[in-house]
Amino acid sequence: MTKIENEMQYQVTLKRVEELMLGLPEDTPADDPRMVELTLLGNLVADYDEEHYPIGKPSLVDVIKLRMYEMGLNQVALSKIIGVNPSRVCEYLSGKREPTLHQARAISQKLNIDPAIVLGV
| Distance of alpha carbon 34 from alpha carbon 19, whole angstroms | 10
72 shares a domain with 44 = no
77 shares a domain with 109 = yes
DSSP state, residue 57: P
69 shares a domain with 19 = no
109 shares a domain with 73 = yes
47 shares a domain with 66 = no
What total number of domains does the chain contain?
Answer: 2
Whole-number pLDDT of residue 90: 95
pTM of the predicted model as reported, rounded to 2 decimal places = 0.59
Range of the domain at 72: 60-119
| Distance of alpha carbon 86 from alpha carbon 76, whole angstroms | 5
Q: Per residue, what are the HEC states of 8-23?
A: HHHHHHHHHHHHHHHH
75 shares a domain with 47 = no
70 shares a domain with 115 = yes
Q: What is the pLDDT along the chain (121 residues), one digit of tens a residue?
A: 789 999 999 999 999 999 999 999 989 999 999 999 999 999 999 999 999 998 887 888 999 999 999 999 999 999 999 999 999 999 999 989 999 999 999 999 999 999 988 887 7
Determine, yes or no, domain membership for 67. Answer: yes
